[in-house]
Amino acid sequence: MSISAAQPSEPDPESAAGSGPESAGGSGPASAAGSGPASVSVIDRLVGANHRYAVAFHDPGMDARPVLGVAVVACMDARLDLHAALGLDLGDCHTIRNAGGVVTDDTIRSLTISQRALGTRSVILIHHTNCGLETITEDFRTELEHEVGQRPTWSVEAFTDIDQDVRQSMARVRTSPFLAYTDDVRGFVFDVHTGLMREITAK
């Protein structure tokens, strides 16, 4: 079982990260500097979309401080459209995403800046059903070490009980010494098939 084959059910960047440069854009190194229309890379496509976006863009003159004073911590899963699912508009929230939506030291770093420098007061944590982190284990790190000769310093943060994982994430936020506001912290599981969120309460 190779590392890249261990997470076939979640076709998002976390699987691309371990699969080598030949998979970037799906078009191979030969096309990276090429200009043929048949080999438009995915990033070229995104840049083109940005040009069209900018043509119609009007500066809303927003402040960097989120309007609703809320930070959303969620999985990076491609099926999770946070703004649509939560009725959020541009400028409403901070969005902090990673594999699993877990609360790591770097998540705490972002939340600390979000609260202390940019005025947010509430934290909503969103995990989801069919998460890629349910399909791997901490053995992922050992496999990586065997493959590349170096053991990552980070934890995979894999889990089997999603409710418990949300509880752990809430606890990490609530007990962080760096955060100034830990009263309004709530966690949910988003169902990728129904679009509904289920709240997880502390045990």
**Contact footprint for Zn ion (CB under 5 A):** 75, 77, 131
Nearest distance, CB of residue 53 and Zn ion, angstroms: 27
CB-wise, 18 or 69, nearer to Zn ion?
18
- 186, β-bridge pairs: 124
- Report the candidate in 120, 127, 126, 128 with the shortest Cα–Cα distance to residue 71: 120
Q: Which is nearer to Zn ion, 66 or 127 (CB)?
A: 127
* CB within 8 Å of 6: residues ≥ 6 apart: 135, 136, 140, 143
Closest CB 132 distance from Zn ion, rounded Å: 5
Nearer to Zn ion, 77 or 157 (CB): 77
Place of tokens 């200009």: 35
Considering beta carbons, is residue 131 or 179 the nearer one to Zn ion?
131
How many whole angstroms separate alpha carbon 110 and alpha carbon 105? Answer: 9
In terms of CB distance, is 159 or 181 closer to Zn ion?
A: 159
Report which of 84, 202, 194, 200 is spatially closest to residue 130, judged by C-alpha positions: 194
Residue 198 CB, nearest distance to Zn ion (Å)? 15
The distance of closest approach from Cβ of residue 69 to Zn ion in the complex, given in angstroms and rounded to an integer, is 26
Smallest distance from Zn ion to CB 181, Å: 26
The shares of helix, strand and coil residues in the chain, as percent rounded to the nearest 5, are: 40, 15, 45
